[in-house]
Amino acid sequence: MRDEQETVAYRIEAGIAWVSFNRPEKRNCMSPSLNRRMMAVLDELEYRDDFGVLVLKGEGSAWCAGMDLKEYFRETEEQGLGAVRKAQSEAYGWWRRLRWYQKPTIAMINGWCFGGGYGPLFACDLAFAAEEAQFGLSEINWGILPGGGASKVAAELLPFRRAMYHAMMGENVDGRTAAEWGLVNEAVPLAALEARVAEVARVLLEKNPVALKATKDAVRRVREMTYDNAEDYLIRAQEAANFFDETEGRKEGIRQFIDDKSYKPGLGAYDKDRAVPVPSSS
């Protein structure tokens, strides 16, 4: 069995952290060891300043074949309720961590994506798939409901009839259909996937990172708010971002447009490297 340490791999290159599910021989299904290791890796990386975007990919032919039926279900059930609850909290824990991650996150679905894999799929802010990838809520095929958030993900991302069909029929869809349905942003041929994801990541790296964190949290949070609550939350969130942004990016963004005329916000981002950090107490 693969050492816990090796169930997740990562490398940082040109501002992008490429984090991989690394159990290709088991189609990257999520065992308790992998879940613990992934949380440790996310912890280790979150506040490092040598990267600005995290990409979650899979080694080999799979992105993630869902929960490990042997190690996550059978073996923990044999150990009793305490072990089951612990395994659940380890899995759900890193998905939650990823949903609210400090850096923008991109799921790069290179192959199989099943069941429990919908948790990390939804946790990533953006998702790009290979046209050849296969997505499925396979739980019904082995006799359970799509748990671990998977039913919620289907209901969040898909129209009602489609979510119902997807969950009840246990049929797979390819990356192209997943993009049409809105499970992912886009599908491209597998050979072009990494380049497309790197291109998207590079655009994100140009943006103000404080504004990006505020934006991704805002889009997730407001889904569950009334309009009035959302308006109020967004005012508070922007004011909090103003406090955290030591570069006072919004003022610099206005200055470069109105005074310097060096860019147009409608056509691209201001040059954040020209902003001068100011003390955060202002």
Binding site for ligand COA (CB under 6 A): 26-27, 29, 61-62, 65-70, 112, 114-116, 138-139, 142
Considering the complex, what minimum distance in angstroms separates the CB of residue 142 from ligand COA?
6
Decide whether 114 or 270 has the Cβ nearer to ligand COA: 114
**C-beta of 71 vs 252, nearer to ligand COA:** 71
- Measured in degrees and rounded to the nearest 5, phi and psi for residue 179 equal -70, -45
Q: How far is the CB of 70 from ligand COA (least distance, A)?
A: 5
259-to-51, 249, 264 alpha-carbon distances in Å: 31, 15, 11
Q: Which is nearer to ligand COA, 148 or 253 (CB)?
A: 148
In the complex with ligand COA, which residue's Cβ is closer, 67 or 124? 67
CB of 275 to ligand COA, least distance (A): 46
Q: Which residue has the tokens 């991302």?
A: 157
**Alpha carbon distance 72, 32 (integer Å):** 6
Looking at the Cβ atoms of 26 and 213, the one nearer to ligand COA is 26
Complex with ligand COA: residue 10 or 21, whichever CB lies closer: 21
Instruction: In angstroms, give the least distance from the CB of 174 to ligand COA.
Output: 13
Task: Kindly tell me which of 84 and 269 has the beta carbon lying closer to ligand COA.
Answer: 84
Q: Can you give the three-state secondary structure of the chain, one letter per residue? A: CCCHHHHEEEEEECEEEEEEECCHHHCCCECHHHHHHHHHHHHHHCCCCCEEEEEEEECCCEEECCECHHHHHHHHHHHCHHHHHHHHHHHHHHHHHHHCCCCCEEEEECCEEEHHHHHHHHHCCEEEEECCCEEECHHHHHCCCCCCCHHHHHHHHCCHHHHHHHHHHCCCEEHHHHHHHCCCCEEECHHHHHHHHHHHHHHHHHCCHHHHHHHHHHHHHHCCCCHHHHHHHHHHHHHHHHHHCCCCHHHHHHHHHHCCCCCCCCCCCCCHHHCCCCCCCC
- The CB-of-152 to ligand COA minimum distance in angstroms stands at 14
